[in-house]
């Protein structure tokens, strides 16, 4: 019985995480969970290296 409860809790966490990602992507967020609050250069396509995924060297 404990295994079933633990399995249901794990399944619920995974379902809620996927739901959060889908909703965030529909809103247009480029980087989900990014602390830059939507001002990162990845989203704004600027030449700044702050927060770039592949910074120029």
State residue 3's pLDDT score.
96
State residue 5's pLDDT score.
97
Question: Helices (H) and strands (E) in the chain — how many of each?
Answer: 2, 0
What H or E segment, with its residue span, contains residue 57? Answer: none
The pLDDT tens digits of the residues spanning 12-49 come to 999 999 999 899 888 877 777 776 656 666 655 554 44
Overall size of the chain counted in residues = 57
- Whole-model pTM: value is 0.58
């Amino acid at each position: 019985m404990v295994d079933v409860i633990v399995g249901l809790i794990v399944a619920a966490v995974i379902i809620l995480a996927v739901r959060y990602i889908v909703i965030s992507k529909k809103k247009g967020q480029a980087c989900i969970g990014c602390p830059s609050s939507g001002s990162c250069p990845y989203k704004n396509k600027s030449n700044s290296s702050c927060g770039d995924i592949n910074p120029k060297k």
